[in-house]
Every structure is written in C-alpha cells, then in structure tokens.
Amino acid sequence: MKRISFLMIALLMTIGMAMAQDVQRGQRKQIDPKARAEKRTERMVTEYGLNDAQKAKLLELNVAMAEKMGDRPGPRHHKKHDMRKEGPRKENAQKPEVNKEDREKRMAEMKQQHENYQSQLKEIFTAEQYQKFEANQTKRQEKMKEAQKNRKDKRDRKDWKDKRDNEKKV
C-alpha cells in the first residue's frame, strides 16, 4: 500500500513538473519597445565604449527604431505553443494570405529602415566604434547562417528518418 501511494505521488509530481515546464516555455514575456531600446542601448554603450552624448543620441535612435518595428507584426505571427494548445492542425485551416508583392514591399521597407539606422549610427559612433560595430554585425550574421544551416540539416535528417520508417512499415 505504501509503495502504491509513493508511486502515485511520484507520478503526479512528474506530470506536474512536465506541465509547468510547458507553460513556462509558452509564457515568454513581451517587452515594450522603449524597454527593448533601452536594453539595446545599454548593451551597445558597454560593448563599444560610448560617452554620455553618444548614449543620449543612440537611445533616441533606438527608441524610434523600436517603436517603428514594434507596430509591425513579425514574419511569424503564430507561436508553437499556441499551435500545441489548439491541437493537431486541421486540413482546412485558413492561413493568412501573404502574396509576393506584399512580402517584397515589406522587405524593401525594412531594408530602407536598416540603411537609415546604419547611416545614423555612423554619425553617432566614432570611426573605430563603427568599425567594431560592423565586425560584430558580420560575426552575428555568420552565426545566424550557421544556425540556420544546422536547423535545415536537422530537418532534412528527420525527413529522411521518417521516410525510412514509413518504408519499413510497408
């Protein structure tokens, strides 16, 4: 009897912990644009050694940029945890229509905003600071490309394994 009650308690605790982890993953807090801009500014001040005048200009620029970006929905308007709550995907579910023209227009707009941001940063930073900023941007881009490649490789391996498993069943 004691063993059964101990096993039941252990099982309930395990289930509770698993459910709590799932909720924590889904509850990623949204930071308002101003707080996000302040955090980015502080990181850049320490990373590039900016003075107080540069910090004030950079904060103003980052707040303006964050507010512009905060209004626009991101490319992924849904999250994985939302899909899990809804259950399995339905065949007749409506996906939002995003045509090629809208996507290209949005990409051109984002590119223009990025170029404006870069030119204003160039005015705020010294030549050395901007050089260091560009080097860090290049490193980040390479890191992102590598991560994207790894995700694609992982997805391809999973597809291959699924195909192999399906062939074994047949």
pLDDT 10s digits, 47-95: 999 999 999 999 999 999 988 887 555 444 444 444 444 455 555 555 5
> Does 62 fall in a domain?
yes
pLDDT 10s digits, 12-60: 778 877 776 655 555 556 778 888 899 999 999 999 999 999 999 999 9
Q: Give the pLDDT of residue 81.
A: 43
Q: Work out how many domains the chain is built from and give that number.
A: 1
> Does 111 fall in a domain?
yes
> Does 50 fall in a domain?
yes
> Does 65 fall in a domain?
yes
How many whole angstroms separate alpha carbon 159 and alpha carbon 166?
11
> Does 41 fall in a domain?
yes
- Mean pLDDT of the chain, nearest integer: 79
How many whole angstroms separate alpha carbon 66 and alpha carbon 60?
10
> Does 93 fall in a domain?
no
How many whole angstroms separate alpha carbon 117 and alpha carbon 58?
10
Quickly list DSSP for 52-70: HHHHHHHHHHHHHHHHHHH
Q: Give the domain range for residue 107.
A: 32-71+101-125
> Does 46 fall in a domain?
yes
> Does 36 fall in a domain?
yes
Compare 169 and 83 and report the one with higher pLDDT. Answer: 169
